[in-house]
Amino acid sequence: MFMLAIFIVLILLSFATFFMGTRAGVFAKSSAALILMLTVVYAFLNFSGTGAGGFTSESTYAFASGIGIYFSIGVDGLTVSLLILSAVISLIALLIANRKEYTASFYGLMLLTETGLFGILLSRDFLFFYIFWEIVLVPMYFIIGRYGGERKDTVSLKFFVYTHIGSVFILLSILTLFSYYYSYSGVFTLQMSTLLNSAFINNSGYLPLFWKDFMLFGFLLGFLVKLPSFPLHSWLPDSYTTAPYPATVMLAGGLSLMGGYGLFGILLPIYSTINITVLWVLIALGIISLLYFAFTAMFQMNMKRMMAYASASAMGFVTISFAAGILDSTLSIRSIELSGGIFQIVAHGIIMALIFSVLYFITENTGKENIYQMGGVHREMPWLSSFLLAGFLASLGLPGLAGFIGEFSIVVGMFQTVGWLIFFVILAMIVTASYHIWTAQRSLYGAYNENLGKIKDASRSEIAILASVTLVIFVLGVYPNLIFGIISAYVGGII
């Protein structure tokens, strides 16, 4: 009930923002802060104490009960951690948005995106899940198309069409499940808990093998587009680069969150239905993503584009974690592997939020995004440059920062399943470290590029924002159990 209230408040606030005129910015920022606070309070009340992550609250409300459509929302260990993540990244994205051109509708659309994310995570009913899944795209489409940079028309459309095609496959999968469940039981239902039933799915008498594979394929396709995984990533680099920075923060954290939630929230509960070959394909895709995006990132001159690829590369870990975790035979390894994947989603979202925020301020102050147009900027902007370095270090998985916990948990258990393929993963990690550090050397350190003239460092409020995000990354890095415990309990409940 409390969660439903938060959700309704969020919906109302996001619509109200559209009508706030010049005060929309402040209103949206405080709304996002309020939502984050309420979500954290909710999480604290229900999930504090270890082992509480298995807790699920589910409430169902009749919507059109005649045709089996209910509105039901629920929260478990996975969704609560992702809810916090979406609240955090939305808050960061809104806080850094400071341009004059951002009108009320910009802020409204941002909050609407958050609403969509909340809706996806909360829905326990496939209809609403799908509706919110689609709703996220629309505000993002408008933000990119209206407030974006170069080629914004083409890019926004590409973003919309590409990810929409992914979503259509999800819809087809849902319909497959829905209709076969009806023909099996004679009941119209879109309830996730009913449809995601391994016994039903695995029984080829109820669900023919072809349609089972079709269903899994559709889900996987839709989720991997969002994650994104090679080779379904084509929307990503352009959208990240063209989107205004606040929206990039939302994209990096939010869309990968959707893909990750799809894998761990929808497919993990029915993991026993997934074919071993499919899992190995996923591992291969994960490793290819890691390497391919890392190498691509290394060659980028534009920092924003480089980080877009870095973000995609980090998501390769999530794919591997999902597939390798299911394949692992030892329970404790399986647990650390899968929990690590989920933790990676959370950590990645916050780390990318930090990096894109810093890049935003740097770009605002220098007017440059290209690595080679900077150089030695640490001299003029020690704060921003230190925060960028902190973000880079977190992104390359340095212990003590959040990125490490996820990557370590995934890598440490990986050997059991993937064996010596682990060397490719390590190679990708080395490449990742290299391009981050190389970029830092070329843009932040060395002789100052005098062409930049006099540039100013971050303002006090900007420093405060960045410092708090860095603090969150640090706290999650040294005390991961804040989130890891909840996630482990969720994973433990399933496997």
Interface of this chain with other proteins, residues 163 to 202, rule: CB under 8 A: none
Are the CB atoms for 323 and 366 separated by under 8 Å? Answer: no
CB of 330 to other proteins, least distance (A): 4
Q: What is the dihedral of CA 37, 346, 112, 40, to 10 degrees?
A: -10
Binding to other proteins, residues 204-233 (CB under 8 A) = 231
Q: Is 34 helix (H, G, I), strand (E, B) or coil?
A: helix
How does DSSP assign 205-242, residue by residue?
TTS-HHHHHHHHHHHHHHHHHHTT-TTS-THHHHHHHH
Are the CB atoms for 143 and 104 separated by under 8 Å? Answer: no
Q: Is 363 in the site for other proteins (CB under 8 A)?
A: no
Give the residue carrying structure tokens 């799809």.
262
Identity of the residue, 26 or 301, whose beta carbon is nearer to other proteins in the bound complex: 301
Q: Is 79 helix (H, G, I), strand (E, B) or coil?
A: helix
Identity of the residue, 65 or 183, whose beta carbon is nearer to other proteins in the bound complex: 65
CB of 246 to other proteins, least distance (A): 18
Identity of the residue, 270 or 452, whose beta carbon is nearer to other proteins in the bound complex: 452
Among 153, 203, 208, 461, binds other proteins (CB under 8 A): 153
Binding to other proteins, residues 50-109 (CB under 8 A) = 61-65, 70-71, 105
Are the CB atoms for 387 and 126 separated by under 8 Å? Answer: no
Identity of the residue, 210 or 415, whose beta carbon is nearer to other proteins in the bound complex: 415
Q: Is 8 in the site for other proteins (CB under 8 A)?
A: yes
Give the residue carrying structure tokens 């990354």.
473
Residues binding other proteins: number (CB under 8 A): 82
Identity of the residue, 138 or 494, whose beta carbon is nearer to other proteins in the bound complex: 138
Binding to other proteins, residues 319-338 (CB under 8 A) = 330-333, 335-336
Among 178, 211, 280, 295, binds other proteins (CB under 8 A): 295
Give the residue carrying structure tokens 């996987």.
220
Q: Which of 152, 149, 172 is nearest to 160 (CA)?
A: 152
Binding to other proteins, residues 414-473 (CB under 8 A) = 414-416, 422-423, 426, 429-431, 433-434, 437-438, 440-441, 444-448
Q: Is 422 helix (H, G, I), strand (E, B) or coil?
A: helix
Among 413, 452, 462, 465, binds other proteins (CB under 8 A): 413
CB of 11 to other proteins, least distance (A): 6
Among 9, 52, 172, 298, binds other proteins (CB under 8 A): 298
Among 250, 485, 486, 489, binds other proteins (CB under 8 A): 485
Q: Is 292 in the site for other proteins (CB under 8 A)?
A: yes
- Residue 125 DSSP one-character state: B
Identity of the residue, 142 or 360, whose beta carbon is nearer to other proteins in the bound complex: 142
Residue 156 carries which side chain, given as an amino acid letter?
Answer: S
Helix-helix angle 331-366:77-96, to 10 degrees: 10
Are the CB atoms for 85 and 353 separated by under 8 Å? Answer: no
